[in-house]
Chains A and B, each alone.
Chain A
Amino acid sequence: MNPVSQRINEGVRKVPTWLLYVLAVIPPALLFYNGVVGNLGIDPVKKMEHQIGLYGLWALIATLSVTPLRRFARINLLKFRRALGLIAFFYISCHLAVWLFLDVQIWSQIWADIVKRPYITIGMGAFVLMIPLAVTSNNWSMRRLRKNWGKLHKLVYPAVLLGGIHFIMLRKGIQLEPLIYLGVIVLLLLLRLPPISKVRSPARA
C-alpha cells in the first residue's frame, strides 16, 4: 500500500461517523437561512432547490466512490458509506420538500407534474428507489435481509443514474455541467462491471 493511502486510512480511523451526520446538516441549514434573509440572489427558491439537489448528487457520487477508492486506490472509507448514503437521502428529501412547498406549491399541479413531466417522473423515480435503501440502512435490517440486503442496495445504481439524467433534462439546451456529472456517474458504475472490478482483485490479499 502506498504511503498516502496509508496515511489517509489512519486519519479516517480517528474520525467518528457521527461527526459526518452533524456536519451534513450545516449546508441545507445555511441554505435555508440565507434564503429567508434574502442572501440567495434574485431567484432564491430556484437557487435553494438546485443547490440542495446538487448536494444530494454529490453525496450519492461520494457513496458510489467508496468501493472504487478501496479497490483501486486502497483508500478505505467503508465506515462512512452508510452515513454518506443517508445524507444523500436527506438532501434529496430536502430538495423534494423545497420543490413541493416553495416552488410548485399547488397540489393538483404537483401530481400532474410527476405524471406528465418526464424529468420530474425520473427524479421522483430516483427518490422512490432510495426509500427502501434508507429504511433498511440499519444493522437489524442487514441481519434480517442477509444476502438480499446487498441485492436490494444495488438499487442505488439506477437511482443515481436517474438522478444524473434528471439533472440533464431540466436544463434548456445541451449544457456542459450536467453532462460532466452524468459522465462521472457512468464511470463509477462502469468500474463495477465484472471485467473491470476484477482487475485489481488478485492483489487484494
Chain B
Amino acid sequence: MGFKPDLTRRDVTPKAMFLNRRQIMAGAAGLSLTGLIGRQARAQDALEPNSMEEIAGYNNFYEFGTGKEDPAKYAHMLTTSPWSIEVGGMVDKPGNYSLDDILSGVDIEERIYRFRCVEAWSMVIPWNGFELNQLLDQVGVQSRAKYVAFETAYRPDEMPGVRFPVVEWPYVEGLRLDEAMHPLTIMATGIYGETIPNQNGAPIRLVVPWKYGFKSIKSIVKITLTDQEPPTTWNKANPREYGFYSNVNPNVDHPRWSQATERVIGGGIFAARKETQMFNGYEEQVASLYDGMDLSENF
C-alpha cells in the first residue's frame, strides 16, 4: 500500500462510547483512566471521529429530500438487498455483479477519513470499505479507458425526493482513472464496523476523501469505464459553481461562499471554525495527480 492514513484503528471511538458520547463527555473527567485522553492526544489535529448519531443524522442525499434530516427520515424506504452493480464500458469483464460477488473478491478495511462538504462543514468518519482499484482490477480496465463514471439508484417508489427536479436524476459522478485507482479512493460498505446506514449511501458508495463530499456518490448501481470525461450531476446543474474535479481547496472559493474555513460538526454553538486544508489534508498523497494543472481553472 502506497500511503499511510494519519488516523488509525486506535483513533476510532469505541462503540460503547460513540453510542452515548454526550453523556460520556459530561462525565469525561472520571473516564480519563480509560484512555480517552491518550486517544485524543494521538489523533493529529485533535481529530476525533464524529458520533454515529452525527454521521447518520446529518446528510445530503437529495433523493430523500433536501433537508439535512430528510435522509435519516426516509432512506429506510430504500431496498438495499439484493443489490447489484452493472459494470460496463471499457472493461474486459462487463456484467451485472451482485454485491456479494464484488465483496468476495476484496479486502474490507477501516479508513478514518476527514469528510469535507462543499457547504463548508466537516466531519471525521471511520469507514469500512475496500480500495476501488481492487474492483477495477477484478473487472479488467482496458487501456483506452481514462475515466470512471458512477450512477446512483433511481427509484421513485423508494425515493420521495426524486419527485422534485432539484437536480437531474439519476445522480451521476465521475473520476479520472488515476483518481479512481488511487489507494485513498475507497468503496465503503460500513461505518464504525456496522453496515452502512441507508442515508449514508447503502449498500455501497464511493469515498474520495480529498474531494468535496458530493463527489463521493452514494448507493451505486452502475460503473462505466470510458475515454470521455463523464457528466457529473452538480456540474450539470451549475457549471460555474461545481467543477468536475471539485478537490477540497481553501484557496478557490465557491462563488457564493468562502472555502477557506469549515464548521466542524459536533462542536456545539460556540465552536470555532477550522481552517480548511489543501486537498482536505491529503495533499502529500494526492497533489502529484494534479501536477501542472491550474487548480483554480480546473476546480
Minimum Cβ distance to chain A for residue B287 (Å)? 25
The docked-state distance in angstroms from the alpha carbon of A140 to that of B56 is 55
Asked if B258 contacts A103 (CB within 8 A), the reply is: no
> Once bound together, how far apart are the Cα atoms of A104 and B262, in whole Å?
9
Contact A116 B66 (CB under 8 A): no
Query: Which A residues touch B266, using CB under 8 A?
Result: 42
| CA distance in complex: A45, B272 (Å) | 11
Q: Which of B43-57 contact A (CB under 8 A)?
A: 53-54, 57
Write the nearest CB–CB distance from B58 to chain A, whole angstroms. 4
| Option from A38, A45, A172 in Cβ contact (under 8 Å) with B263 | A45
A115 to chain B, nearest CB (A): 11
Q: Is the CB of B66 within 8 A of A102?
A: no
Instruction: Verify if A158 is at the interface (C-beta below 8 Å from B).
Output: no
CB contacts under 8 Å to A, within B244-299, are 253, 255-258, 260-261, 263, 265-266, 268-273
- Interface size bracket, A side: 20 to 34
The total of Cβ contacts below 8 Å across the A-B interface reads 68
Q: Give residues 160-189 of A contacting B (CB, 8 Å).
A: 169-176
Bound-state Cα–Cα, A173 to B66, Å: 9
Interface segment, A3-11, A106-114, A194-202?
A: A106-114
Docked-complex contact A109 and B261, CB < 8 angstroms: yes
Does A92 interact with chain B (Cβ within 8 Å)? Answer: no
B258 touches A113 (CB 8 A): yes
Secondary structure type dominating chain B contacts: loop
Q: Are B269 and A176 in contact (CB under 8 A)?
A: no
Contact string against A for B residues 103-123, beta-carbon threshold 8 Å, 1 for contact and 0 otherwise:
000000000000000010100
**Would you call B237 an interface residue if the criterion is a C-beta within 8 Å of the partner chain's C-beta atoms?**
yes
Of the candidates A35, A104, A109, A174, the one whose C-beta lies within 8 Å of that of B166 is A174
CB-CB < 8 A to A45: which residues of B? 263, 269, 271
User: Which residues of A (66-107) have their CB < 8 Å from a CB of B?
Assistant: 102-106
0/1 string, A35-49, CB within 8 A of B gives 1:
110101111111010
Which residues from B are CB-within-8-Å of A44? 268-269
Q: Which residues of A contact B261 (CB under 8 A)?
A: 106, 109
Within 8 A of A (CB), among B192-241: 237-238
- Asked whether A42 and B269 contact (CB < 8 A) given A109-B261, A169-B256, the answer is no
A173→B263 contact, CB < 8 A: no
Q: Are B258 and A173 in contact (CB under 8 A)?
A: no
**28 A–B pairs (Cβ distance < 8 Å), ordered by A:** A35-B269, A38-B268, A41-B69, A42-B265, A42-B266, A43-B68, A43-B265, A44-B268, A44-B269, A102-B269, A104-B273, A106-B261, A112-B258, A113-B258, A116-B253, A117-B257, A117-B258, A118-B256, A119-B256, A169-B256, A171-B66, A172-B119, A173-B66, A173-B166, A173-B237, A173-B238, A175-B164, A175-B166
Minimum-distance CB pairs A-B, first 3? A42-B58, A35-B269, A173-B166
